[in-house]
Structure 1
Amino acid sequence: MTNTNIYPCLWFNNNAHKAAEFYCSAFPGSAILKKSALATTFITGGTKFMALNGGPSFSVNSAISYYVYCGSETEINRLYHLLSTDGDILMPLGKYDWSENYAWIRDRFGVNWQLDVDAINSHQKIVPSLLFANAKSSLVKRALNHYTGIFSNSTVLLEAPYPPHAKQPEGTLLFAQVKLNNFIINAMSSSLPHDADFAEGNSFVIECNDQQEIDYYWNRLTEGGRESMCGWLKDTFGVSWQVVPAVLDSLMSDEKRSGRVMQAFLKMKKFNIKQLLEA
């Protein structure tokens, strides 16, 4: 299952392509991969994204933000001014305990970005960051164990516990970084109250090569979570995932079959590749 491809999905209210074009203009080396009425896929900062035209049901929020390892003062200043234009500055650019130069911004589309002057030793310069807050603030370590237990090709890259003066239970993690199937994710804890929790507005897509992979990830990720429709699920922490067959893209690109394929998967919870191919 090492070939599984994981990438984030951002839910927009019918302005997904406009958002994708904005992000591709903001980050060097970006490109639109595919555009349809339903979604736009693009690569930016070494990370593949899906921008979904999902309508008004859900929206992105701060429970999952996107941590940008800028690598220079010039780049962090450029992105700070670009992403904050017509957006909101949640933490102004400056020195913090964890970084010589850092900022947290909500851009014009509602997407949250954390900017850090530091570099990262990876082609993936943009790293999704899960915020465990309120009743979940002590669950970072449990989440690491859970996800590394599911994804066989995984490595914990960093664990940073709360300092003693924070008066948290010993060993409670403040920050961690993990690589799952060669995809890096940050996990952060906050002891402060937050008004956002994990929701469908930010999700992760897992493209699966065959039914065995779909069954495996569906069964493991729904343990303690719940199933939804069209390949969507929530895991035990409330994080949303889409477990989809890699062949779906080509099936939906076939004008003669796409309508039948869509009608078939709209009735599914877990995807059934055989039924899609027969549609």
Structure 2
Amino acid sequence: MATSVTPHLMFEGDAEEAMNFYTSLFDSAGIIQLERYSAGEQGRQGAVKRAQFSLCGQLFDCIDSPVKHNFGFTPSVSLFVECDNADEQQKLFDTLSEEGKILMPLDYYGFSPRFGWVEDRFGLSWQLNLAGESF
């Protein structure tokens, strides 16, 4: 029987940079564990072999894949963030979309009076909604 389900993020060389970026965005966040590849292992020495971090109580695993892939993240799977207020939402929207792209600008969409969707510079997709406003 399964004991947990944890989102697993696979990067190709920038896992630590992404993890540091994500944990800097939230007050309740931190890096829990970080293991690096050593000389002679399959991955590039010093790259993230396995790491775990937390954002607002949600655990994430991440790695730097030692194998190159013909795929990356897709907006079909995204992180949904309930923001406490419009200022927090705007800050996250601006920071996450910097060097990334805006998929849906912050606006009224019928299902929420203020919602936005961005893809960050690492290719990870984020939906940003005001708390208390639901679909």
- Same topology, TM > 0.5: yes
| Aligned pair partner of 2:68 in 49, 52, 56 | 56
Counterpart of 1:106 in structure 2 is 119
Aligned residues between the structures: 120
| Aligned pair partner of 2:51 in 17, 30, 40 | 40
Normalised by the size of structure 1, how large is the TM-score?
0.41
Any conservation in 2 of the 1:16–1:39 contact (CA below 8 Å)? no
Q: Deviations over 1:168-191 (max 9, x none)?
A: xxxxxxx8xxxxxxxxxxxxxxxx
Q: Deviations over 1:70-121 (max 9, x none)?
A: 121121011011111111001001111111100010001000000001249x
Report the 3-state secondary structure (helix = DSSP H, G, I; strand = E; otherwise coil) of the residue aligned with 1:21. Answer: helix
Report the 3-state secondary structure (helix = DSSP H, G, I; strand = E; otherwise coil) of the residue aligned with 1:33. Answer: strand
> Could you tell me how far apart the structure 2 residues matched to 1:103 and 1:87 are?
14
Any conservation in 2 of the 1:104–1:115 contact (CA below 8 Å)? yes
Per the TM alignment, residue 51 of structure 1 is displaced from its structure 2 partner at its CA by 1.4
Normalised by the size of structure 2, how large is the TM-score?
0.82
Counterpart of 2:91 in structure 1 is 78
Report the 3-state secondary structure (helix = DSSP H, G, I; strand = E; otherwise coil) of the residue aligned with 1:50. Answer: strand
Which amino acid counterpart does residue 68 of structure 2 have in structure 1?
P
Counterpart of 1:95 in structure 2 is 108
Give ranges in structure 1 of 5+ residues lacking alignment: 121-174, 176-279
Any conservation in 2 of the 1:17–1:39 contact (CA below 8 Å)? no
> Could you tell me how far apart the structure 1 residues matched to 2:13 and 2:20 are?
14
> Could you tell me how far apart the structure 2 residues matched to 1:113 and 1:4 are?
26
> Could you tell me how far apart the structure 2 residues matched to 1:67 and 1:12 are?
20
Any conservation in 2 of the 1:20–1:42 contact (CA below 8 Å)? yes
Higher radius of gyration, 1 or 2 = 1
Per the TM alignment, residue 61 of structure 1 is displaced from its structure 2 partner at its CA by 1.2
Counterpart of 1:214 in structure 2 is none
1:13 and 2:24 correspond: no
Per the TM alignment, residue 56 of structure 1 is displaced from its structure 2 partner at its CA by 2.5
Q: Which has the higher contact order (CA 8 A, sep 6+)?
A: 2
Any conservation in 2 of the 1:33–1:41 contact (CA below 8 Å)? yes
Q: Which runs of 4+ in 1 moved over 2 A?
A: none
Per the TM alignment, residue 46 of structure 1 is displaced from its structure 2 partner at its CA by 1.9
> Could you tell me how far apart the structure 1 residues matched to 2:132 and 2:9 are?
24
Map 1:242-257 → 2, pairs under 5 A: none
Report the 3-state secondary structure (helix = DSSP H, G, I; strand = E; otherwise coil) of the residue aligned with 1:19. Answer: helix
Compare the two structures and name the one with the higher helix fraction.
Answer: 1
> Could you tell me how far apart the structure 2 residues matched to 1:99 and 1:29 are?
25
Map 1:108-257 → 2, pairs under 5 A: 108-119=121-132
Q: Deviations over 1:184-228 (max 9, x none)?
A: xxxxxxxxxxxxxxxxxxxxxxxxxxxxxxxxxxxxxxxxxxxxx
Which amino acid counterpart does residue 51 of structure 2 have in structure 1?
T
Per the TM alignment, residue 5 of structure 1 is displaced from its structure 2 partner at its CA by 1.9
RMSD: 1.8
Per the TM alignment, residue 34 of structure 1 is displaced from its structure 2 partner at its CA by 0.5
